[in-house]
Structure 1
Amino acid sequence: MRPRPQGVLLILCGAALLRIALFSELYLRYVKEGLRPYLVVSGVALIALALVGMISRDRDHHHDHDEDEDEDDAHAGHDHTRNPRIAWLLTAPALALLLFPPPALGSYSAGREEARVAAQGTGTFPKLPAGDPVDLTLGAFASRAEWDTGASMKGRTVRLTGFVTRDDDGTWYIARLLVTCCAADAQALKVEIRGADAPAADAWVTVTGAWRPTGKPGSDAARPVLDAASVKRVPAPSDPYEKR
């Protein structure tokens, strides 16, 4: 069986999907957890299609060769199905995807796709659970900081986890990306950190501290700001995104 670029390309793409979805949790960098079965099925289908296509073409080639054995010698052995060698270059991106899966979106994306994900309008939020520090998602913290007229975070110690992103003026934030379906629709959640030195960009940290009110809820001055008591480096989670 003589491999062709089309078949090899399908196999590499299918293998890449199986690598990130079946044999690891890398798929969480790109899509939500519930889409895993579809990625696995797609990977298997691509490989199966490639193998079926290769076998079918190989049989057709042998069949045509047998019918042409008695033709003029000038035409014997001439391969009309030969692919240009440059077509093999198409397999390079698929091979790179298999060997070097792209990282999750980070500070570059967060700095350019800032979004509000709070409730539509101000109001009173439920009380936080008892005990300090209380773990909050960045979305929950930002919503309460911007829209909670009851100031439910006042006097409480909260703990947030995200990756580091910085502005040119030295202001730094912890951020996470909110996804509805996949990384393509990601929106940035950012909380400004004050009172502590900024770690390296894209480093994952857990910050413990207190909410700092910055303005009337619902106004442009109301921004999510945390006065840090401690900043701890942590490993990047297998699932780096927040979900709606």
Structure 2
Amino acid sequence: MRRYGSCLLLVLVGAAVLRISLFSELYLRYVQAGLRPYLVVSGVVLVLLGVVMAVVRRTVDDHEHGDGHEHGHGVAAGPRVAWLLTLPALALLLFPPPALGSYSAEREAAQQAAQGVGAFPALPAGDPVELTVGEFGSRAIYDSGRSLKGRTVRMTGFVTHGDDGTWYVTRLRVTCCAADATTSKVEVRGAADGAPPVDTWITVTGTWHPQGELGTDGAWPPVVDASAVRRVTEPADPYETR
């Protein structure tokens, strides 16, 4: 059995990749949607490679045993400790880790947008206007046209807590995958029921609360005066795209 350890490992890893990318949308916890085809192809290749390697080794074994002796050119069994490599593959297959949450968000210092203060495009007509947490933050801190003024907005994210009773609707933004995630957050004020538990997913409806000078630390974090806070389920894609 030890001779087939690497084959089994390849099949397990491939099956795990296919489980999260082909048979579910769990891959969205780790990478952007556009990478799904590459994950599916990688999973199929790994499974096929593992199967082919197993067939080749079985053929070699049958040939050697048929001759009545070992020729010595078979693939040697690896060390037993190599079987520990199956544990991460099994973990991903059976217990895929959750998306990044409040712990990751709280570790990162406030990130300021690179575009600086300037005019932003007009918001669409009608209230409430749907914005991502990142869009709201960029307009609140950098929009010289004050496009958020007088508008009712709606944002969805998970809850993080700050000091002195402050709390935020938060979202992680990715360029490629979870490894490059950065944090966008908006302080929520005026919610009738107070702060929900950490990592609770919510939709906040409210209005912008201006503070500080545009483009300065005094404008961070942006603030929304909440008129409604509703608990929601975690979306299939928990990240915003930069």
TM-score, length-scaled by structure 1: 0.90
Residue range with higher mean Cα deviation, 81-90 or 96-105: 81-90
1:232 to 224, 230, 233: 230
Q: Distance in 2 between matches of 1:199 and 1:140?
A: 23
Query: How many residue pairs are counted as aligned between the two chains?
Result: 237
- Residue 212 of structure 2: aligned partner: 215
Deviation of residue 124 (structure 1)?
A: 1.8
Deviation of residue 2 (structure 1)?
A: 7.9
Specify whether residues 18 and 117 from structure 1 end up closer, same or farther in structure 2 by C-alpha distance, changes over 3 A only: farther
Once the two structures are superposed, residues 16-47 of structure 1 have per-residue CA deviations (whole angstroms, 9 ceiling, x without a partner) of 11111101111111111110000000000000
Maintained 8 Å contact 1:17/1:43: yes
Q: Distance in 1 between matches of 2:89 and 2:75?
A: 27
Q: Distance in 1 between matches of 2:110 and 2:26?
A: 25
2:116 to 118, 121, 142: 121
Kindly report the root-mean-square deviation, in angstroms, between the aligned alpha carbons of the 2 structures: 2.1
Secondary structure (helix, strand or coil) at the match of 1:200 reads coil
Q: Distance in 1 between matches of 2:213 and 2:116?
A: 12
**Residue ranges of structure 1 left out of the alignment (5+ in a row):** 70-74
**Residue ranges of structure 2 left out of the alignment (5+ in a row):** none
- Residue 206 of structure 1: aligned partner: 203
Equivalent residue letter for 1:146:
I
Secondary structure (helix, strand or coil) at the match of 1:4 reads helix
Alignment of 1:33-112 (within 5 A): 33-69=33-69, 81-112=76-107
Deviation of residue 121 (structure 1)?
A: 1.5
Equivalent residue letter for 1:94:
A
Maintained 8 Å contact 1:21/1:27: yes
Maintained 8 Å contact 2:57/2:75: no
- Residue 72 of structure 1: aligned partner: none
Q: Distance in 1 between matches of 2:17 and 2:112?
A: 31
Maintained 8 Å contact 1:4/1:83: no
Deviation of residue 58 (structure 1)?
A: 1.2
Secondary structure (helix, strand or coil) at the match of 1:210 reads strand
Q: Distance in 2 between matches of 1:174 and 1:226?
A: 10
- Residue 161 of structure 2: aligned partner: 166
Specify whether residues 20 and 117 from structure 1 end up closer, same or farther in structure 2 by C-alpha distance, changes over 3 A only: farther
Specify whether residues 145 and 128 from structure 1 end up closer, same or farther in structure 2 by C-alpha distance, changes over 3 A only: same
1:150 to 145, 156, 163: 145
Once the two structures are superposed, residues 172-206 of structure 1 have per-residue CA deviations (whole angstroms, 9 ceiling, x without a partner) of 11111111011111111111111121101111000
